[in-house]
Amino acid sequence: MNAKRNVSPRSLGSGLEKVDRHQIQPDEYLELPEITDEMLARGKVNKGGRPRLANPRQLISLRLPADVIARWKATGPGWQTRMAERLSEI
């Protein structure tokens, strides 16, 4: 295969360019509903992100022998969580 062949950019196939070019006309504002106090009362702010934990984890630096880390990694994905669970049993 030729690694340096010309590749054309893929198209999203969407009408985003058309939407960006659209200018809102005065008569379109008539289609929008009036905002009422009830609508504002139903609104809520979504701060996003993960919820705060009651007992968040703390970052530490710990030096372990390479063979110990290799054995834990050999147990597969989630080895850090399993290690933390095992340490909490002590």
Residue 55 belongs to a domain: no
Residue 22 belongs to a domain: yes
Instruction: Give me the mean pLDDT over the 43-50 stretch.
Output: 86
**Can you give the pTM of this predicted structure?**
0.43
Instruction: Give me the mean pLDDT over the 64-72 stretch.
Output: 95
Identity (one letter) of the amino acid at 57? R
Residue 7 belongs to a domain: no
Instruction: Give me the mean pLDDT over the 55-82 stretch.
Output: 93
Residue 81 belongs to a domain: yes
How many separate domains does the chain show? Answer: 1
Comparison of pLDDT for 66 and 31, the residue scoring more: 66
Residue 24 belongs to a domain: yes
Q: Give the mean pLDDT of the chain.
A: 85
Through-space distance between the first and last CA atoms of the chain, rounded to whole angstroms: 57
pLDDT of residue 36: 92
Residue 30 belongs to a domain: yes
**Domain range for residue 72?**
16-43+63-89
State how far Cα 86 lies from the chain centre: 29
Alpha carbon distance 21, 41 (integer Å) = 34
pLDDT of residue 61: 93
Alpha carbon distance 69, 80 (integer Å) = 10
The answer to whether residues 72 and 83 touch, using CB atoms and an 8 Å cutoff, is: yes
